[in-house]
């Protein structure tokens, strides 16, 4: 019997059992791994190239500062009182909302003192309160854009967050099976609505509708834009919240019901608190969506860069500014660079939100369900 294997062709030695080297296997694995790196590469490239185009701001800033200094020195020989006056009036423009006439005065005076004013985009001018990129004396104050974006985000989240979270709670805890099978796909379909369609709906239908209700003057304003953006944010918040709610272990709800709590008490006091990190993540991602939304902002907010707390006044968001002005700028101009700087800021902000939602929240959720944290 022991000699029989000799005439068997398949003798399994240590050598023959070793994995054979095959070029096709080797290549396919390397190619697949290489392609998988693409997503990481794209993220890095996006940051690099968007930031790269905004870099000249920082170079020209240094140059122009030198020029300004030399000009001021020259003027000091002439008369010190003149420079003092122009300086004070130049500072005033940041504090006071200037009328047209004083603006022209300021422009004239500034052109006297700062011959390269149009090329300038210093830190001070970037934090200014005026966004006037195409005037004779362009100013790139980002504050009104930031205020506008925050205002619209706040309005959108005030609508989207409660509605989406409550709807998710209904779908996860109360809705009968057949109704859930309608609600979830319907909201998935809402997520698929192009933002330009929502923007168009807001511009043509919602704007007039809200104007009839509230009776304000401007058809397009932060409120209309915010409500329209809420439509874009609701599917994101709903889906992630729903996932978080259904991920709460059954034992939690069963324990609560066994202790005599009713269904709504269980949902409100057990399921919802257990899913808070997930809901937090949902809201963060919703904020990210609204923050970067371009088409709805372009179409429904009126696009006037002004600082005000009134929700019924027109606003201009950061993303909409890029969308509206990039097509008209001269490549390599300061205006062009500032728009890319806004893009970098948007990207960094969005990246941070996503990272926060990813690491902090998910880590907490996992720990909580594993019982490591009460």
Partner 1 sequence: MSRSKSITGGLFIGVTAFSALLIIAVIIILLVVIIIGGKETFSWEFLTAFPEDGMMKGGIFPAIYGTALLVLIMSIAAVPFGTITAIYLTEYAHEKSILAQTIRFAVRTLATVPSIIFGLFGLGFFIKFVGGGVDDVFLGGQLKWGQPNILWASLTMALLTLPVVIVSVEEAIRTVPRELREASLALGATKWETIKRIVIPGSRSGIMTGTILAVSRGAGEVAPILFTGAAYYLATLPVSMSDQFMNLGYHIYILATQSANVDQTLPIQFATTMVLLLLTFTLNLAAVIIRSRLRRKAK
Residues in 139-198 that interact with partner 1 by CB under 8 A: 162-164, 166-167, 169-171, 173-175, 182-183, 185-190, 192-198
User: What's the distance, CA 288 to chain centroid?
Assistant: 4
| Ramachandran angles phi, psi of 190, nearest 5° | -60, -35
Positions 231 through 260 that interact with partner 1 (CB under 8 A) = 231, 234, 238
Q: Please name the residues in contact with 364: beta carbons below 8 A apart, sequence gap of 6 or more.
A: 277, 373
Whether the CB-CB separation of 213 and 239 falls below 8 Å is answered with: no
Q: Which two tokens stand for residue 106?
A: 């300021």
Binding-site member from 157, 275, 322, 361 for partner 1 (CB under 8 A): 322
User: What's the distance, CA 362 to chain centroid?
Assistant: 20
Binding-site member from 49, 58, 123, 214 for partner 1 (CB under 8 A): 49
Cα distance between residue 32 and residue 29, in whole Å: 5
286 binds partner 1 (CB under 8 A): no
How big is the site for partner 1, counted in residues (CB under 8 A)?
89
Binding-site member from 50, 114, 248, 361 for partner 1 (CB under 8 A): 50
- Return the number of the residue (280 or 340) whose C-beta is nearest partner 1: 340
Binding-site member from 5, 52, 65, 91 for partner 1 (CB under 8 A): 52
| Ramachandran angles phi, psi of 132, nearest 5° | -130, 75
Cα distance between residue 69 and residue 53, in whole Å: 27
Binding-site member from 66, 84, 96, 205 for partner 1 (CB under 8 A): 205
Determine the angle formed by the axes of helices 276-292 and 143-169, rounding to 10 degrees. 140
- Return the number of the residue (63 or 263) whose C-beta is nearest partner 1: 263
Cα distance between residue 142 and residue 308, in whole Å: 14
Cα distance between residue 326 and residue 292, in whole Å: 16
281 binds partner 1 (CB under 8 A): no
Binding-site member from 7, 14, 22, 250 for partner 1 (CB under 8 A): 22
CB 43 → partner 1: shortest distance, Å? 5
- Return the number of the residue (40 or 309) whose C-beta is nearest partner 1: 40
Positions 289 through 318 that interact with partner 1 (CB under 8 A) = 289, 291-295, 298-299
Cα distance between residue 351 and residue 343, in whole Å: 12
CB 169 → partner 1: shortest distance, Å? 5
207 binds partner 1 (CB under 8 A): no
Q: Please name the residues in contact with 293: beta carbons below 8 A apart, sequence gap of 6 or more.
A: 195, 229, 232, 317, 319
Q: What is the DSSP string of 273-287?
A: HHTHHHHHHHHHHHH
40 binds partner 1 (CB under 8 A): yes
List, in sequence order, every residue forming a beta bridge with 131; answer none if it has no partner. 140
- Return the number of the residue (147 or 202) whose C-beta is nearest partner 1: 202
Whether the CB-CB separation of 327 and 316 falls below 8 Å is answered with: no
The HSE-up count of residue 345 (CA atoms within 13 Å, CB side) is 18
Place of tokens 């002439």: 78
Segment near partner 1 (CB under 8 A), from 62-70, 146-154, 263-271, 307-315?
263-271
- Return the number of the residue (103 or 247) whose C-beta is nearest partner 1: 247
21 binds partner 1 (CB under 8 A): no
285 binds partner 1 (CB under 8 A): yes
218 binds partner 1 (CB under 8 A): no
CB 262 → partner 1: shortest distance, Å? 6
- Return the number of the residue (37 or 177) whose C-beta is nearest partner 1: 37
- Return the number of the residue (11 or 36) whose C-beta is nearest partner 1: 36
């Amino acid at each position: 019997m022991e000699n029989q294997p000799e005439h068997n062709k398949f003798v399994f030695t240590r050598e023959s059992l070793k994995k054979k080297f095959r070029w096709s296997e080797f290549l396919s694995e390397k190619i697949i791994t290489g392609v998988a790196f693409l997503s990481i590469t794209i993220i890095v490239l996006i940051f690099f190239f968007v930031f790269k185009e905004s870099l000249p701001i920082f170079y020209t800033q240094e140059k122009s500062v030198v020029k300004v200094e030399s000009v001021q020195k020259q003027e000091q020989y002439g008369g010190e009182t003149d420079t003092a006056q122009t300086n004070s009036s130049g500072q005033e423009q940041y504090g006071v909302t200037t009328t047209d006439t004083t603006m022209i005065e300021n422009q004239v005076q500034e052109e006297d003192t700062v011959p390269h004013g149009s090329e300038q985009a210093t830190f001070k001018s970037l934090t200014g309160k005026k966004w006037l990129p195409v005037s004779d004396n362009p100013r790139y104050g980002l504050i009104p854009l930031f205020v506008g974006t925050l205002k619209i985000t706040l309005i959108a989240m005030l609508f989207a967050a409660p509605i989406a979270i409550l709807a998710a709670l209904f779908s996860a805890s109360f809705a009968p099976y057949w109704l859930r099978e309608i609600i979830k796909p319907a909201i998935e379909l809402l997520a698929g609505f192009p933002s330009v369609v929502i923007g168009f709906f807001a511009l043509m239908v919602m704007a007039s509708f809200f104007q009839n209700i509230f009776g304000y003057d401007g058809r397009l304003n932060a409120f209309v834009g915010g409500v329209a953006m809420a439509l874009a944010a609701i599917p994101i918040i709903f889906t992630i919240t729903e996932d978080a709610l259904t991920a709460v272990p059954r034992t939690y709800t069963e324990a609560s019901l066994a202790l005599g709590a009713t269904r709504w008490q269980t949902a409100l006091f057990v399921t919802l608190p257990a899913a808070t990190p997930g809901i937090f993540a949902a809201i963060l991602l919703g904020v990210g969506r609204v923050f970067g939304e371009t088409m709805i902002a372009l179409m429904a907010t009126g696009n006037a860069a002004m600082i005000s707390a009134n929700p019924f006044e027109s606003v201009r968001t950061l993303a909409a500014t890029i969308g509206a002005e990039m097509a008209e700028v001269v490549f390599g101009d300061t205006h062009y660079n500032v728009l890319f700087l806004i893009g970098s800021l948007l990207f960094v902000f969005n990246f941070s939100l996503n990272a926060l939602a990813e690491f902090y929240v998910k880590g907490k959720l996992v720990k909580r369900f594993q019982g490591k944290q009460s």
